[in-house]
């Protein structure tokens, strides 16, 4: 399953931080270290990759995602960049991210974006 996830996510480079940590843990963990909950989460990750991996929503805002490199995407178009882990801090969910969730602003940014991503 690890090889399948790597193939489906550009050798793991397209994975979200949390998903990449799960992949790294499962590849390094011994049989005694893996819990049932770990196995379930790993199987869910594998199923998401089989369906066409998509980054999870950032701050639970639908269509808003961030890559491991800090690039923020709105509806598959790059619209911003943040240093990590700043983008995940509690205060980042206030103000600026709510502004980013404004469809009109993001749609305008997405139209200007030169590099859309596909399938993520």
Q: Where are the domains of the chain?
A: 2-50, 64-112
d(CA 119, CA 25): 25
Long-range (24+ apart) CB contacts under 8 A made by 60-63 are 61/97, 61/100, 61/101, 63/106
pLDDT at 3: 93
Percentage of residues in the chain having pLDDT higher than 90: 14
Over residues 56-76, mean pLDDT: 78
Do residues 65 and 120 make contact, with C-beta atoms less than 8 angstroms apart? yes
Q: Which DSSP state fits 119?
A: -
Q: Give the orientation angle of helix 36-50 with respect to helix 17-28, to 10 degrees.
A: 120
Radius of gyration of the chain (CA): 16
Write down the mean pLDDT value for the chain. Answer: 76
d(CA 38, CA 75): 30
The answer to whether residue 6 scores a pLDDT higher than 90 is yes
pLDDT band with cut points at 50, 70 and 90 for residue 4: very high
pLDDT at 112: 59
Both structure tokens of 13: 């480079």
Please tell me the chain's helix, strand, coil percentages from 3-state DSSP, rounded to the nearest 5. 45, 10, 40
pLDDT digits (tens, 9 = 90+) for 24-64: 988 887 767 888 888 898 999 999 999 998 877 777 777 88
pTM score: 0.56
Both structure tokens of 25: 């843990």
């Amino acid at each position: 399953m690890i090889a399948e996830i790597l193939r489906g996510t550009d050798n793991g480079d397209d994975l979200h931080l949390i998903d990449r940590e799960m992949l790294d843990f499962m590849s390094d963990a011994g049989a005694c270290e893996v819990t049932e909950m770990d196995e379930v989460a790993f199987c869910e990750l594998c199923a998401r990759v089989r369906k066409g991996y998509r980054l999870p929503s950032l701050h639970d805002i639908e269509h808003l995602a961030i890559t491991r490199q800090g690039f923020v995407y709105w509806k598959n178009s790059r619209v911003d960049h943040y240093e990590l882990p700043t983008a995940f801090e509690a205060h980042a969910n206030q103000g600026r991210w709510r502004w980013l969730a404004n469809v009109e602003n993001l749609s305008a940014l997405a139209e200007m974006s030169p590099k859309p991503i596909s399938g993520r």
